[in-house]
Amino acid sequence: MKIARFSRLGFILAAAGSAVGLGNIWKFPYITGEYGGGAFVLVYLFTVLLIGFSIMIAEMFIGYMGRKDGVTSFEELAPKNKNLWKLGGFQGLAGLFIMIFYSVVIGWIFNYIVSSLIYLPSSVKEAELTFTTMLHSDFLTQLFYHSVAFLWITYVLTKGIKSGIERLNFYLMPTLILILLGMFIYATTLDSFSKAVEFMFSPDWSKINSEAFVTAVGHAFFTLSLGMGAIMTYSASMEKNSNLVKNAFWVVFLDTTIAIVAGLMLFTFLYQYGSGPAKGPGLVFISLPSAFYEMGILGNFFAVIFFIALAFAGLTSSVSLVEPMVQYFIDRFNWSRLRASVSMGLFFYLFGIVAILSNIDGYEELLTWGDKNFFDWVDYITAAIMLPFGGLIMAIFVGFVIEKQRVEAVLKPQLGFAFEAWYFSLRYITPVAMFIVMLNLMGVV
């Protein structure tokens, strides 16, 4: 049976679609606002190049050389202790666990697309009431849109690499870029655009502390969709003789550019309509809708296409979060793609219902342990433990376990004189950074 492979453009769009998710359009702007703008952006860009790019190449290398699911790739590439190192491939579980709450959030976005057609809150207070009412009281609305997300994502997965994942990204990624570009061009015509540029690119180093550095490292890593097996699994379907470094560059470039463009656009709108940038996680669902309201009827249009763009970013990422475990069951247990896709889809769908209930009044107390409910615990465990641990394992595996000659044979012709610098960063800088991020997110340091 002929194995389906991504085209070069298809791989770049799929990998970029995996990387470009809610973290770029939702999280990056609000953490930039929390840490004062320009200085944080510079630290973020530095860590993307030094750490994110290094891990991206390493993860692509494992997938490209292994040509199988993550578990099999680790097992076959390990020169010894294969039964131990194959456990590194189970980082695909992180993506599946993330989907438990990620699908719920995509459901919120679907809801906002529909509601923004006819209604926008007139103030931040009203917007906050709208969001919290949905979150804590409206179970059926959340369940409906969570179900829509589940059906869409699972359907795409059943269609496979070429007809499903590549085709989805072929249409959604260019559309996402065009929507953001159109909104960005409009933002440049507003008086507040220069203020947004100054905020994002004029560094105020007094706003930067050790926590900001750790946040920048963590976000640079997570926004590139690393440590969850997604890039590794996609790379297994890369064409032979592909240039891993060039592909990694284009994925990092698209991911970072979209984050910067989204930040400039959102801050312009927030400044223009009397709201500041440091609004925290509620920026997209609370602060931004009330800013769109101030635009009049044009605000409804911008709100709808913005939330469509956000949904596209979430959907392209979602497929990549589930695919590693789908491929695992196909390769290791000879499951059909239909069986594997539906099984993994039902996993995140059913636990997603529990995540919804953990925020609903009357159920929240039953589904809360310690200071977090089920939704928050899944978010915390994946972000603080599973993802950085996955990155740490990959850096050690490529940097210390796989023979250097094998890595050198593939990557030195592509990296040239920069190979030794990349290899040093992968072995000594990246593991330390990942370990510190993990300890910080766990509250140890």
413-423 confidence digits (pLDDT tens): 999 999 999 99
Buried residues in 218-248 as b, exposed as e (16+ CB within 10 A): bbbbbbbbbbbbbbbbbbbbbeeebebbebb
* % residues pLDDT > 70 (the chain): 96
Report the SS3 class of residue 277.
coil
159 phi, psi to nearest 5 deg: -80, -15
* % residues pLDDT > 90 (the chain): 59
Confirm if 344 and 85 have CB atoms less than 8 A apart.
no
In the chain, the N- to C-terminal Cα span, in Å, equals: 51
- Which position has the token pair 């635009």? 295
Containing H/E element for 373?
Answer: strand 372-373
Residue 1 has pLDDT above 70, yes or no: no
Confirm if 254 and 22 have CB atoms less than 8 A apart.
no
Q: Which residues lie across from 373 on neighbouring strands?
A: 368
User: Which candidate, 313, 299, 225, 382, places its Cα nearest to that of 26?
Assistant: 313
Per-residue pLDDT reduced to its tens digit, 41-63: 888 898 888 888 999 999 999 99
Per-residue pLDDT reduced to its tens digit, 384-398: 788 888 989 999 999
Cα dihedral across residues 103, 104, 107, 109: positive or negative: negative
Confirm if 199 and 29 have CB atoms less than 8 A apart.
no
pLDDT of res. 25: 80
pLDDT of res. 270: 84
Say how far apart CA 395 and CA 52 lie, in whole Å: 11
Say how far apart CA 44 and CA 217 lie, in whole Å: 7
Q: Which residues lie across from 369 on neighbouring strands?
A: 372
Look at domain 8-441 and name its CATH class: mainly alpha
Say how far apart CA 427 and CA 430 lie, in whole Å: 7
Say how far apart CA 35 and CA 214 lie, in whole Å: 12
Sketch the domain layout of the chain as residue ranges. Answer: 8-441
pLDDT of res. 445: 59
Mean per-residue pLDDT for 287-295?
87
Q: What is the overall mean pLDDT for the chain?
A: 89
Residue 276 has pLDDT above 80, yes or no: no
Say how far apart CA 258 and CA 339 lie, in whole Å: 35
Say how far apart CA 3 and CA 412 lie, in whole Å: 28
Residue 205 has pLDDT above 50, yes or no: yes
Structure tokens at 243: 């240039």
Per-residue pLDDT reduced to its tens digit, 297-311: 889 999 999 999 999
Alpha helical stretches, state H, 294-362:
297-333, 337-357
Residue 2 has pLDDT above 60, yes or no: no
Say how far apart CA 129 and CA 108 lie, in whole Å: 15
